[in-house]
Structure 1
Amino acid sequence: MEEIGITLARTLAGFSVLLLMTRLLGKKQLGQLTYFTYITGIALGNIAGDMVVHRDITMTSGITGLVAWALLSIAMELIALKSSRARVLLDGEPSIVVKKGVIQDRVLARLRLNMDDLSMLLRNNQVFSVKEVEYAILEPNGQLSVLKKPEQETVTKSDLSLQPSKRKYVPTEMIVDGKIVRKNLQELQLSREWLEGELREAGIESVEDVFFAELQSDGSLYVTKRSGNGLH
């Protein structure tokens, strides 16, 4: 019983101090989870957990570690408020992954993102085709900010008294990083010959020259060459 009582007391102490420290760190800890705040959260949790289960760590040492780490984090955040260089060091900076409608494949490679990752982030923003995007910026917290092309801005069909047109396809990846996505071709009952013909019409002779190609809802093909321009 004595051992259980000690464990409960250490748990209560660790929980109370951890709750206080997270409140001191502010809402940014939850609302803007950058790499630095993510590591800070893990570190505080580990220190509190070790204090509870490892009896060789005194409560005084554990609480001191929690308070010290939290105060260091707060100090760094205050420095970042005053210094743009410190903000970049702690949180990183935004990266433009689509610029003027063109996918920045070198930026994606530097960020270690592939087209599946970019497509998923766009879909999270209710964008189902890269063709709709003027700018896409990956924020330091990992979220994607999207600016659509002017002609793609949200206007409902009813606002313009237009009849909605039927979609022939859901926007689908055809080529990613110079390789044909054969599964998608088969599911849409399209052939490699058709795809190569569409590329030739766009002035592209080889699939290997294409970084990304996407079938549009109307059956047209959106193509981005390697480190080149987006072609419609």
Structure 2
Amino acid sequence: MDAFLDVALRSLAVYLFMFAAIRVFGKNQLSQLNAGDIVLLLLISNAVQNAMVGSNVSLEGGLVAALVLFVANFIVKKIIFKNPKIKSLVESDPIILIKDGVVDNLKMKEQEVSFDELEEAVREHGIEKIIDVKLAVLEVDGNISVISIDKETGSTKFSRRRRKFPRKSHKF
């Protein structure tokens, strides 16, 4: 049983390291992976495999490692859901980039969103000019949501755009 406990502890250590490393290096969302991201994930998984299972290359050792990763992820998600302080540490807050047609250049610089990218997001939502945007928000998952007012009907229009490059924030 000591061999399986060793695998469990190693797996937990690797999970916690990877969780922290992803936050430090700015990948707060992985919904749109490019080729470089996929290669990086494959190489990391290969690099940490031996760190998790050590000399135990049995089926049972691999299953214990996988089980520990699933359980650790489940527990972390529960903790984040139940504790707002930890959630704010781990996840970023939505950031307002445009309010009532006025661009917040400081927030854009902090979040590494280019003006071209913001204009592209606005255009993709069918809005010609930034001045017509009621609210543009960089969401916690890296998407840009845009709310505008339809001049003809006076109703609010809402849409979201996935970013090509995830934003970088919560650097330790």
TM-score, with length taken from structure 1: 0.41
Q: Distance in 2 between matches of 1:134 and 1:83?
A: 32
**1:97-176 aligned within 5 A:** 97-149=97-149, 151=151
Give, in angstroms, the shift of residue 147 of structure 1. Answer: 1.5
**1:1-232 aligned within 5 A:** 35=28, 42=41, 46=45, 50=49, 58-59=57-58, 60-149=60-149, 151=151
Runs (5+) with no aligned partner, structure 1: 1-33, 156-232
Give, in angstroms, the shift of residue 64 of structure 1. Answer: 2.3
Q: Distance in 2 between matches of 1:97 and 1:69?
A: 36
SS in 1 for 2:135: strand
SS in 2 for 1:126: coil
Give, in angstroms, the shift of residue 37 of structure 1. Answer: 6.6
SS in 1 for 2:128: coil
Cα RMSD after superposing both structures: 3.6
Moved over 4 A (4+): 152-155
SS in 1 for 2:151: helix
Give, in angstroms, the shift of residue 100 of structure 1. Answer: 2.2
Q: Which has the larger radius of gyration?
A: 1
Q: Distance in 2 between matches of 1:140 and 1:130?
A: 22
Instruction: Count residues with an aligned counterpart.
Output: 117
SS in 2 for 1:127: coil
Q: Distance in 1 between matches of 2:153 and 2:143?
A: 20
Q: Distance in 2 between matches of 1:101 and 1:36?
A: 27
Q: Pick closer, same or farther for the CA change 1:153–1:147 going to 2, 3 Å.
A: farther
Q: Distance in 1 between matches of 2:70 and 2:137?
A: 31
TM-score, with length taken from structure 2: 0.54
